[in-house]
Chain A
Amino acid sequence: MFSLKPPKPTFRSYLLPPPQTDDKINSEPKIKKLEPVLLPGEIVVNEVNFVRKCIATDTSQYDLWGKLICSNFKISFITDDPMPLQKFHYRNLLLGEHDVPLTCIEQIVTVNDHKRKQKVLGPNQKLKFNPTELIIYCKDFRIVRFRFDESGPESAKKVCLAIAHYSQPTDLQLLFAFEYVGKKYHNSGDTNKINGIPSGDGGGGGGGGNGAGGGSSQKTPLFETYSDWDREIKRTGASGWRVCSINEGYMISTCLPEYIVVPSSLADQDLKIFSHSFVGRRMPLWCWSHSNGSALVRMALIKDVLQQRKIDQRICNAITKSHPQRSDVYKSDLDKTLPNIQEVQAAFVKLKQLCVNEPFEETEEKWLSSLENTRWLEYVRAFLKHSAELVYMLESKHLSVVLQEEEGRDLSCCVASLVQVMLDPYFRTITGFQSLIQKEWVMAGYQFLDRCNHLKRSEKESPLFLLFLDATWQLLEQYPAAFEFSETYLAVLYDSTRISLFGTFLFNSPHQRVKQSTEFAISKNIQLGDEKGLKFPSVWDWSLQFTAKDRTLFHNPFYIGKSTPCIQNGSVKSFKRTKGIPGT
């Protein structure tokens, strides 16, 4: 009788191209001089030869042979074999195709097949077996696997331990950016205005320097200076607001920028007094003004219960006074309306679990409901929806909006940015978007160090910045003609938070950068002169990472510039599933 042949449960073209008939498996490990490309200040800590990098999970036919290196910046796999499968359209100048920056490593697992042992490696740990395999889980959703079948067992072990040690530093100053920037200062000698970054046509795109936007010649305002804030006031046409310098030298608050914008009717003396009542001494910060005069303001909670009413009243009055129509203030308590950072983190962990760890076929069947169960998209929607409601208040109701949050350093960053992206076409340009991130995240004291967990010890990890980029991506999908930048730009921007070379996403506050880098400079005998801390390279100097040709991919071909109307009010619906997960 005829036997039914059931259809194959999976079809391989989901993942792989049709198998090649002429197998080009290199069964013999090559012996060749494979040299890593090193940055200034980068040193090789350990290396091992005859390593096999696994490409596919179900076959070894695509595997590559080469040398695995651990430096103080990255792990690097150097091979002569061409990449067999997917090729990217752009190449990062700082990293090879197989490199992983140490700050991008999430977890290191060593395996010994023969002894059936497996160990997650923490820092300064011992390994009692010789690993046959090393699995590295990356923060950008990659899983990288190396096999040591043909390598010297001792050197394999040493490399694994080195990676574990160097990817989990105990101190902020051990991050590579310090070594790199220190080297730059030493090399540049007297000419301290240039850090001598070789590939950058922007030159010293330092933490406080001039970082050029991708492909665009405009400078990104960093909001470190008085004049950047002043220009922003003028750009938005805000009247009734002034730049205030009372936090110069971080005399008031260590988590605020040195210059902030406040209602003109509030005197410096009053602000100084009020500041004591706010969590983290975070006084109200002006973000942006609508052309109708309504302002967007963010502030921390007033912890002083006795003073609460009075101060709150004074501030609201001042904001009302700054409004040309003397409109009321609409207060939005973000802690009550939005998921908290722990919930966002929990959703992200589930999302990652779903995308990375669970077997493809099992998740495929229930993909949509599993995705829903992570709640990630629900949270993205909550942020967009709430921001759209505030847009309605500002634009249609002509009300000034105050964002309230305990510390005002997390949810506020995300909501303030989204509201501005929705209302102001300038923030949909590359330069504008970058200045927005400077203004509402970097300078406003978003704790990148803790939230990105660069030191891997933080209990405070939360991907709020990624959530913001995802929400922006959703807007880009819905308004394809409204944004100058592309999906690629967003993905690359997120990847850049994992490269510990730039000062932009390294610190919890601008003050921390100054303090830490001054200490570092003293210990390394670097003369800072008039500078406030070391000038780290800025992420916005995209020429450090990508060639001009690759940077053209940052541009969205649908963009039609400023003629696009503002993003309309209305509930934001119709979600795309997040496909363009940053990273590889």
Chain B
Amino acid sequence: MASASTSKYNSHSLENESIKRTSRDGVNRDLTEAVPRLPGETLITDKEVIYICPFNGPIKGRVYITNYRLYLRSLETLSSHWRFEVDTCLFQDSSLILDVPLGVISRIEKMGGATSRGENSYGLDITCKDMRNLRFALKQEGHSRRDMFEILTRYAFPLAHSLPLFAFLNEEKFNVDGWTVYNPVEEYRRQGLPNHHWRITFINKCYELCDTYPALLVVPYRASDDDLRRVATFRSRNRIPVLSWIHPENKTVIVRCSQPLVGMSGKRNKDDEKYLDVIRETNKQISKLTIYDARPSVNAVANKATGGGYESDDAYHNAELFFLDIHNIHVMRESLKKVKDIVYPNVEESHWLSSLESTHWLEHIKLVLTGAIQVADKVSSGKSSVLVHCSDGWDRTAQLTSLAMLMLDSFYRSIEGFEILVQKEWISFGHKFASRIGHGDKNHTDADRSPIFLQFIDCVWQMSKQFPTAFEFNEQFLIIILDHLYSCRFGTFLFNCESARERQKVTERTVSLWSLINSNKEKFKNPFYTKEINRVLYPVASMRHLELWVNYYIRWNPRIKQQQPNPVEQRYMELLALRDEYIKRLEELQLANSAKLSDPPTSPSSPSQMMPHVQTHF
């Protein structure tokens, strides 16, 4: 984990301590160079390089490396033809700008040697986590790339060099505090919990029951804390079944956990069996508990060899088990790699659709969505409580519960609701962000890395495409979340679980991503959003409707990018303003109307309506 020294650490650059000035947007701008800087960001070095743009060829520029970002400004102004091709927002004063948080870097390689021939054959090749590569060529004389390589390695992978992640150095201030967005007690209260059947327990207050679970858990009222401890022994990594969501009307629940430790011998555990029965009994409408095992059945069987397994028929009489056929983190990682192969730097044009099909990415999206639809449908229409697990219950399980909750509960489709959903089902329940993303870690081949959260956001995007009025947020909101999933500018996605975050005092020492977003909400709002309370969304999880998220996966390619972001954003703003105006006018009319109604003193039947209008009767 990060050695989190709070002391202001010294920059390694020698002469670059130029005067800084805080501009209105809170970003320091270097007076001489105009490199954007965050409070707490320091310039380390700068160097003249050739940026080998995969779309427009080599271009001379100066690269600036800070402890947060790599920033490149081209020295040549581009010909108008180039500017035509390259996305306009990359430009300032007709020079090309690259602005890449170092957290995005997964691998830095040297290309060519001191003696390699050919133009621009000597330099660095940087692989990024966000579907792109950056290549810089340097002069061959005097090992000119050595210090750039070393500095980049140092600051892109601070954990390997006993340096803190940038989030711990970031001194940004926002007028809202994103850390207060999620309060578990409040969220459970919103769901109507605790109630007769479900209670809040603090058994995990010091993370003793389960070190990857949150401190606060909701469990059946009839299960004692001792019961919970006994069940924990039979669940992988002690991740016992706990409540994620309760249906406001039929009171059926979504419960999440890890696999039971059945093993080769087919072990049973009376406490676990009883505990599941207690969960089942909280719902009187259906005599069975439905268990969704996210894995393909073959994998579930194979897990027995390592001590895991699934709930057998014999042991769990009152449960029905279904496998959802979702593959593991390794399959997903390889699939995304294939997506990158066909979109970066060049889009595979001649057989685009069959190439896309062969990556299986959309097929995986389909399976995840189909699984979540089944969970949501079971709870909503089937009136059955549902238990969801995979192996450890922190990857596929998080995908399924959070997507099902998004389908069932319109609250999570608002900006703050979605933040709460992510904070709850992903961050607090121990999706291993640190391992899956590899924040500040140089081991790019780590088998623990996998785009599980990205896949979830993709599913959300697919839903927002199919229900354009159901979500308060727009595509930019999802993209900014993904950008800061890697950037290490905020503490939100750092570390693997709540206990680790607490040890590192993340909420005190870092800024939350939600602070940035919530202080500038308008930018992330969908103008077509219409609030609906009780509508369950069932997306169509068919290949006929799923699409590749071009605006994310192929956004670096200027020829593929949505070609007119600006007019659409402008129109968004216009529509939002228009909507606000209508809402205001509606309120005024309602007010006028209620004033009319309440004007004759003989209508005291609606006191609440009179409230906004102060009457002065004598």
Contact = CB atoms under 8 A, between A and B. Distances in A.
A96 B562 CA distance: 39
A366 B358 CA distance: 10
B365 interface: no
A445 to B, nearest CB: 34
Contact of A5 (B323, B352, B382): B323
Given A5-B322, A18-B377, A574-B347, A368 B543 contact: yes
Nearest to B356: A368
A574 B325 contact: no
Contacts of B347: 573-574
Given A5-B321, A478-B562, A372 B571 contact: no
B588 interface: no
B264 to A, nearest CB: 14
Interface stretch (A268-276, A416-424, A479-487): A479-487
A11 B537 CA distance: 15
Contacts of B571: 481, 557-560
Contact of A2 (B314, B357, B370, B541): B314
Contact of B297 (A4, A372, A479): A4
Contact of B313 (A2, A559, A568, A571): A2
A7 B381 CA distance: 19
A13 B353 contact: no
Contacts of B370: 11
Interface stretch (B154-162, B198-206, B212-220, B544-552): B544-552
A579 interface: yes
Interface in A528-583: 557-560, 563-565, 568-571, 573-577, 579
A6 B560 CA distance: 41
A178 to B, nearest CB: 40
A1 B313 CA distance: 8
Interface string B519-542: 000000001100000000010111
A576 B356 CA distance: 12
B352 A367 contact: no
A13 B377 contact: yes
A293 B374 CA distance: 61
A479 B563 CA distance: 7
A8 B370 CA distance: 11
A64 to B, nearest CB: 23
A358 interface: no
Contact of A564 (B377, B547, B567): B567
Contacts of B562: 478
Interface residues of B, number: 52
Contacts, number: 110
A265 to B, nearest CB: 35
Interface string B368-380: 0010011001001
Interface in B338-367: 347, 349, 351-354, 356-357, 362
Given A560-B567, A568-B84, A570-B85, A11 B353 contact: no
Nearest to A355: B544
Nearest to B561: A574
A7 B357 contact: no
A150 interface: no
Interface string A480-498: 1110000000000000000
Contacts of B567: 481-482, 560, 563-564
A482 B354 contact: no
Contact of B559 (A17, A557, A563, A573): A573
Contacts of A369: 353-354, 357
A238 B563 CA distance: 30
B324 interface: yes
B175 interface: no
B301 interface: yes
Contacts of A577: 353, 544, 547
A3 interface: yes
A480 B528 CA distance: 14
Contacts of B377: 13, 18
A564 B564 contact: yes
Contacts of A574: 347, 550, 554, 560
A367 B528 CA distance: 31
A164 interface: no
A248 interface: no
B323 A480 contact: no
Nearest to B538: A13
B357 A366 contact: yes
Contacts of A482: 564, 567
B568 interface: yes
Contacts of B357: 366-369
A18 B538 CA distance: 10
B589 interface: no
Contacts of B380: 18
Contacts of A2: 312-314
A481 B564 contact: yes
A371 interface: yes
Interface of A: 1-8, 11, 13-14, 17-18, 364-369, 371-372, 377, 478-482, 557-560, 563-565, 568-571, 573-577, 579
Given A4-B297, A367-B544, A558-B568, 11 more contacts: A5-B321, A6-B323, A7-B297, A11-B541, A14-B541, A368-B362, A369-B353, A478-B563, A479-B564, A574-B550, A574-B560
- The 7 A-B residue pairs with the shortest CB-CB distance, nearest first, are A367-B543, A18-B381, A481-B567, A2-B312, A372-B353, A369-B354, A368-B357
Interface of B: 84-85, 297, 301, 312-314, 320-325, 347, 349, 351-354, 356-357, 362, 370, 373-374, 377, 380-382, 527-528, 538, 540-545, 547, 550, 554, 559-560, 562-564, 567-568, 570-571, 574-575
